[in-house]
Amino acid sequence: MRKVTVNGLLARKLRLALTALAIVLGVTFVTGTLVLTDTLNRTFDNLVGTAYQHISFEVRGKAVFGSNTVSGTAGRRPIPASIATAVRGVPGVAYVDPQVQGYAQFVARDGDAIGSAASALGFSFDPNRQLSAVRLVQGSPPTTGQDVLMDKGTATKYHFTIGERVRVVSGRSPQMFTITGIVTFGSADNLAGATLAGFALPTAQDLFNTRGQYDTLNVLAKPGADNISLQRAIAKLLPPDVQVVSGQTAANELTSAISNALSFLSTALLVFALISLFVGAFTIFNTFSITVGQRTRELALLRVVGASRRQIFRSVLAEAALLGLAASLIGLGLGVLAALGLKALLGAFGITLPSAPLVFEARTVVLALAVGVGVTVVSAIGPARRAVRIAPVAALVDHHEEEPESVRRRATAGSVVAVGGIVALVAGLAAPAIALVGIGAVAMFIGAGMLAPIVARPMSSVLGRPLAAILGTPGRLGRENSMRSPRRTAQTAAALMVGMALVSALGVLGASLSASAKSNLDSAVTADYLITGPNSGFSTSVAPAVARIPGVAVVTNVYKGQFELGGTLSGIDGVTPAHLSQTVHLALTAGRGAPALAAGELLIDTTTASAKHLSVGSVAPVTFAQTGASKITIGGIFKTNPLIGSYVVGAPFFISHFHNPLPIAVLVSAQPGASHVGSAINNYLNVYPNVGVKSRAQFEQSQQHTLNQELGLVYVLLALAIVVALIGIVNTLMLSVFERTHELGLLRAVGMRRGQVRAMIRSEAVIIALFGAVIGVIIGTALGVAFAASLKSQGITEIAIPFASLIGFLILSAVLGLAAASWPARRAAKLDVLAAIAAD
Amino acid sequence: MIEDDEMSQTEQGPASPAAHGVELTKTYGTGDAVVRALDGVTVEFERGRFTAVMGPSGSGKSTLMHCMAGLDVPTSGRTFVGDHEIGLLDDSELTDMRRDQIGFVFQSFNLVPTLTAAENITLPADLAGVEVDQAWFDYLVQALGIADRLSHRPTEMSGGQQQRVACARALIRRPELIFADEPTGNLDSSSSAELLEFLRSSVTEHGQSIVMVTHDPRGAAYADRVVFLADGKVVGELLSPTAASVLAQMMKLGS
């Protein structure tokens, strides 16, 4: 039987090659994702290792609430400078390096900020350089308050040299500095794409508002010292809210934070890879069904000659396994190449990474092969079971018929699976439980695939009617062909159905997000202009300066931070209470608004009020990183708005409870009748290249733009699934052209022109594609609405159905179907008439 | 196309043949493995006549028919349908010629499975985008006894019924020439006789020209003339054949 299996595969190379392509693409995606994230993990591990290699201990403020973010300083207070002196006095300590860091971004000569605000690192440079991985490769260390060190990457790219002046933006007003030296991080030109700005310690303390304090102390132990007792000795000196950890511990914390972020990325990408494989599974199922049907005689002959049912079953599955193995191996190779491509794609979206050799682990190989072979074999089980039911007598009968289908059995089974899937999906959305959503979606699609043949014939008839009318006989024949085998039509279209459903769901989700964002903005913000900058905040001098611009009526600072209320970590906003209603709209349902803020009270939204059983006048226990535990009174309750957040306090209260608070936005309201206010603000902001002003309409537009960009990325990731679905259609058409060789020969003999043959095949393809797309769009719209509805608490307050886009998707499917038909159509038209008639 | 009133005499056909081939050769392969399917065949198929082409397997009779019908291209020589030299036509023109001027009946699988009998019959006209002669359609369907089968698909008909539908399709546009390749090969004897009777009558009563490839002497007996092929050459001819005379001729050629 082995020879039969292998020979069987080789005989149908071309036919199976297309099927294999679906698996190759899916495995490529999986491999690429795994290789990419492994490589990224290794890269960052190395970086962190480099940063911490000389550090024996790290002294820092204790984390008030545990939020292990990559920036590392969340929830930690700075420590007083006196501690450094105390630690230096501990015997066994060789060296203590105090560290201060924060946001500091270079400005290029043309006035634009360099790099992104999220990765502009400013730090204090220790001239002794014993503990830092930052290396001075040119020039001299910064000594005065005017000196700065620049990373080599920035210096090279933007042509800065030692002795030149450069503007730096930070939480303070922008300042000019003189470049005294060029630095690298270890051997890299920058820190994983982040720019580096090094200052003398006092300068850094000034810039980041930590005068008389440090963020951390890096401690080097004397060689031969007993680290454990040394750590204990240091700990004895520290006040209760300061701790000392080993360098290894600090490094591990950082590594695991990065690794968490990366695993989120890798999971997201793998989900798309699995979607492609799921779609590919439909294609494989279809192909194997068709080839088993075509080989009925051959398989029946094997049964006549004595092969058992089990042997037939195993042979079909073995074929699938071999095919899956070959495809997976190819996918592995391509996946490594794809990892490089994905890196570039991420770079295009602003995530620049250092170049490093790719990490190819054994786990990747095992997973890729398991997934590739697994999907292929599982998809082939159904057809294998059908192969087993072929009666030996089929080898001797001239004309074999397709086994008649029990419509009722299919309808029942399909309905059960589909309904079960929908229930799981809804339950998963309500919970929320992502795994349940995934399982529910898979079951629903499988159920839909099982039910599709029931509607295939009537729908093909309807969809094909215009084609028959326009194209005449070829159109009519194409329509008849798609109606002749509803199961075949439905199975071929199923893959596209899944793809189009996902695309449509995304469309609905995107439209809902857009609509919600707009309505959220409109209902929360009454200001005419919004000034925004980096997430770490921008200079406090912006607001007062803007207030002085003629025509400006009200200026409101907006701060964002984190705190704990009743044991839960949450975000909190701080806004200037004066004239608040002119820039921010708080729809109060109870209590007071701005007056409460001015009195140092807390405003909460309706959702929080009911969830935590709080009302106006309640006193709640809160904890702030800077000031510790305290209590606060609820002054008012407002209608929930995702843009505003759940907790609001007045700006003065915020400033007194956070370390170095910087506004993340300034809202401006203009005097009635004032003109050119926007351009005046814009002119002023030329001094702050990292801050920009937008009118409300412009802000909305840029929100949409960002949203569209993100959606675009997801569409691209889904595009692979669509490609796999189309490959399935091409494959089926090729197989069916082969199957109908005699019939095509007959048509040509009787006088059908080549062009008419092509038109016939094309109409078939368009009908199949539209069939899948129509069902897919309907399912997808429902799916999208369900998703959007479940995300109501996350900010999707409106559900919008983009009818124009959905119709566009349908038209696109028809066009894609046409494209898929081009090769099979040409093949069919080029058939040698004589050979075709002679064929069986 | 032939007009009914032109063809009252069955004694003599008009001057130009329905189809003829001049010095046709068809070779496959090269060097030592060369196969000469046709080796210099010159033959005429008369208008308004029923001609049978016979020969043992490998004699080239099917190849000859394929070349004459424009389904295959001879290695050398010229082929004509009516006055048109086929070798000069491109694929589109050949296809149109097959659609408008030639009718086909094959041994089996003659019909498009997705079409009803009626649709199969009108297929050449539908491909051309023209209407069929409804009176002629009704007559054919009656004469062939398939009037009650018109809305059925091929899978719902017997082999004999399918062949009769194929005949109707071949005749519906009154082509210059009908090529029948072993049309009774898969039929039982009574269905065969019915089919051949009908072909005969279409020649006698309506002046249709038919060329039939067969190896059955009883089938050949329905023809006006039999052309014998062997080893790619015309080796004999018989006018007004009977089953006995055909058999005798075949045995003579065989020795």
Tokens 């007792």 identify what position?
A229
Tokens 């090269």 map to which residue?
Answer: B30
- Which SS3 state, helix, strand or coil, does residue A188 take? strand
Tokens encoding A156: 């090279």
ipTM of the complex as predicted: 0.79
The minimal CB distance from A472 to the residues B100, B115, B129 is found for B129
Cβ-Cβ contacts under 8 Å for A263 (sequence gap 6 or more): A37
Please tell me the predicted confidence (pLDDT) of residue A2: 65
Q: Provide the pLDDT for residue A380.
A: 92
Contacting residues of B for A484, CB less than 8 Å apart: 113-114
Q: How many beta-carbon pairs below 8 A join chains A and B? A: 66
Q: How far apart are CA B182 and CA B194, in angstroms?
A: 14
Give the integer Cα–Cα distance in Å for A5 and A2: 5
Per the CB < 8 Å rule, is A473 touching B123?
yes
Indicate which of A461, A739, A740, A746 best probes the interface with B, i.e. most B CBs within 10 Å of its own CB: A746
pLDDT of A303 higher than 60:
yes
**Residue in B220, B5, B151, B124 with CA at minimum distance from that of residue A747:** B124
Structure tokens that stand for A474 in this block? 């070829």
Interchain pair B96, A748: CB under 8 A:
no
- Per residue in A279-298, pLDDT (tens digit) is 989 888 988 888 888 788 77
Work out the mean pLDDT of chain B and round it to a whole number: 87
Taking the C-alpha atoms of residue A212 and residue A823, their distance in angstroms, rounded to an integer, is 75
Q: Tokens at residue A426, please?
A: 């809804």
| H helical segments located in A12-144 | 13-52, 82-88
Between chains, do A746 and B100 touch, taking CB under 8 Å as contact?
no
| Mean pLDDT within A578-604 | 89
Residue A225 — pLDDT band, cuts 50, 70, 90?
confident
Whether B127 sits inside 8 A of A751 (CB atoms) is: yes
Angle between helix A696-739 and A741-750 (nearest 10): 90
Residue among B91, B98, B111 whose CB faces A749 most closely: B98
Q: How far is CA A721 from the centre of its chain?
A: 16
Contact with chain A for residue B183, Cβ under 8 A: no
CA distance B130 to A473: 11
Mean pLDDT calculated for residue range A822-828: 91
Bridge partners (DSSP) listed for residue A79 = A214
Distance CA A57, CA A97 (A): 11
For residue A834, which residues of chain B lie inside 8 Å, CB to CB? 66, 71-72
Taking the C-alpha atoms of residue A173 and residue A544, their distance in angstroms, rounded to an integer, is 12
Average pLDDT of span B63-68: 90
Contact B121, B168 (CB under 8 A): yes
Look at A13-22, A252-261, A591-600, A692-701 and tell me which has the smallest mean pLDDT: A13-22
pLDDT band at A28 (very low <50, low <70, confident <90, very high): very high
Residues of A in contact with B91 (CB under 8 A): 754
Task: State mean pLDDT over B220-225.
Answer: 94
- A477–B112 CB contact, under 8 Å: yes
> In 3D, which of A654, A653, A568, A572 has the Cα closest to residue A605?
A572
B228-237 per-position pLDDT tens digit: 999 899 999 9
Cβ under 8 Å to A: B residues 11-50: none
Going from the C-alpha of A48 to that of each of A78, A121, A719, the distances in angstroms are 22, 15, 36
Q: Is the pLDDT of residue A122 over 80?
A: yes
Give the residue from B93, B101, B109 with the most A CB atoms within 10 Å of its CB, the best one to mutate.
B109
- Per-residue pLDDT band at A346 (split at 50, 70, 90): low
Q: Closest CB to B109: pick one of A473, A742, A756.
A: A742
Better pLDDT: A310 or B140: B140
- CB contacts under 8 A, A 705-744 vs B, are 742-743
Q: Mean pLDDT across chain A, nearest whole number? A: 86
- Can you read off the two tokens belonging to residue A180? 């005294």
CA distance A542 to A300: 84
To the nearest whole Å, the CA of B96 is away from the closest chain A CA by 6
Inter-chain residue contact A473 with B126, CB threshold 8 Å: yes
Q: Which value, to the nearest 10 degrees, does the dihedral of the CA atoms of residues A149, A155, A160, A165 take? A: -30
**Sequence-ordered strand ranges (E) for A420-579:** 529-532, 552-565, 568-575
Please give the residue that has the higher pLDDT: either A356 or A116. Answer: A116
**Residues A313, A314, A315, A318, Cα dihedral to 10°:** 130
- Looking at the complex, does the CB of residue A837 fall below 8 Å from at least one CB of chain B? yes
pLDDT digits (tens, 9 = 90+) for A161-214: 999 999 998 888 888 999 999 998 877 777 767 888 999 999 999 888 888 899
Residue numbers in B near A746 (CB within 8 A) = 106, 109-112
| DSSP for residue B213 | E
- Between CA A27 and CA A331 the distance in angstroms is 5
Q: Which of A79, A97, A113 is nearest to A197 (CA)?
A: A113
**Residue owning tokens 């009666």:** A391
Cβ B127–A746 below 8 Å, yes or no? no
Between CA A320 and CA A325, with CA A324 as vertex, the angle to 5 degrees is: 120
B71/A833 CB distance under 8 A: yes
- pLDDT at position B49 is 93
Q: Does A798 touch chain B (CB under 8 A)?
A: no
User: How many C-beta atoms lie closer than 10 Å to residue A550's C-beta?
Assistant: 9
pLDDT of residue A372: 93
How far from the centroid of its chain's Cα atoms is residue B200's Cα? 12
Q: Binning pLDDT at 50, 70 and 90, where does residue B5 land?
A: very low
A27 touches A335 (CB < 8 A) = yes
Between B83 and A807, whose confidence is greater?
A807
Angle at A702 between CA A698 and CA A705, to 5 degrees: 140
User: What number of residues does chain A have?
Assistant: 840
The whole-angstrom separation of Cα A501 and Cα A679 is: 45
Q: Read off the pLDDT of each residue in A384-405 and give the average, rounded to a whole number.
A: 70
Q: What is the pLDDT of residues A497-556, one digit of tens each?
A: 999 999 999 999 999 999 988 888 888 889 999 999 888 788 888 899 999 998 899 999
Nearest CA in chain A to B103: A750
Residue A345's pLDDT is 73
* CB-based burial, A222-248: b 16+ in 10 Å, e otherwise: eeebeeeebbebbeeebeeebbbbbbe
Q: Would the pLDDT of A402 be above 70? A: no
Least trusted range by pLDDT, from A3-7, A489-493, A677-681 = A3-7
Q: What is the pLDDT of residue A502?
A: 94
What's the whole-model pTM score? 0.81
